[in-house]
Amino acid sequence: MIAADTSTWVAFLEGGRGTDTQLLDKALEDRLVLMIPVVLTELLSDPKLPSALTETLSEVPLIPIESGYWQRAGALRAAVLAKRRKARLGDALIAQSCIDSGVPLLTRDREFRAFAGSAGLNLELGVGGALA
């Protein structure tokens, strides 16, 4: 199983090329993608998103939010901020969803590196100057 951050989903939906979009395409084909609730919210926030695409994205199985998620996400963000690293709230929520479910995250966003390693987030290759 794998999950993708908004940056990878947007690139994929716009026909962008890269290792991350290829991995997402293959994982979708094999039905091995889980949707992160915060990412779904970000994607559905586009007022120009076609309704058919809204339905398709909503059909991707969601990573469940387990008890204590909000507390763990807050602690994760606090730990990253204590190291004087950037930790946007949305990124912390995305990272915690993946950490809780043990699912690697596909992303093009370098800032997720702050949640990798000792913080527990497993990152997959990015492209476009992100993680590659």
Average pLDDT over residues 116-130: 74
Residue 112 lies in a domain: yes
Task: Express each pLDDT in 69-109 by its tens digit.
Answer: 999 999 999 999 999 999 999 999 999 999 999 999 999 99
Average pLDDT over residues 33-59: 96
Cα–Cα separations (whole angstroms), residue 36 to 60, 101, 127: 9, 10, 20
pLDDT exceeds cutoff 50 at 132: no
pLDDT exceeds cutoff 90 at 115: yes
Residue 18 lies in a domain: yes
Residue 131 lies in a domain: no
Judge if pTM exceeds 0.95.
Answer: no
Average pLDDT over residues 6-22: 94
Please state the domain count of the chain.
1
Closest CA to 57 of 111, 97, 3, 103: 3
Residue 130 lies in a domain: no
> Which residue carries 């889980």 as its tokens?
34
Question: What is the extent of the structural domain holding 90?
Answer: 2-124
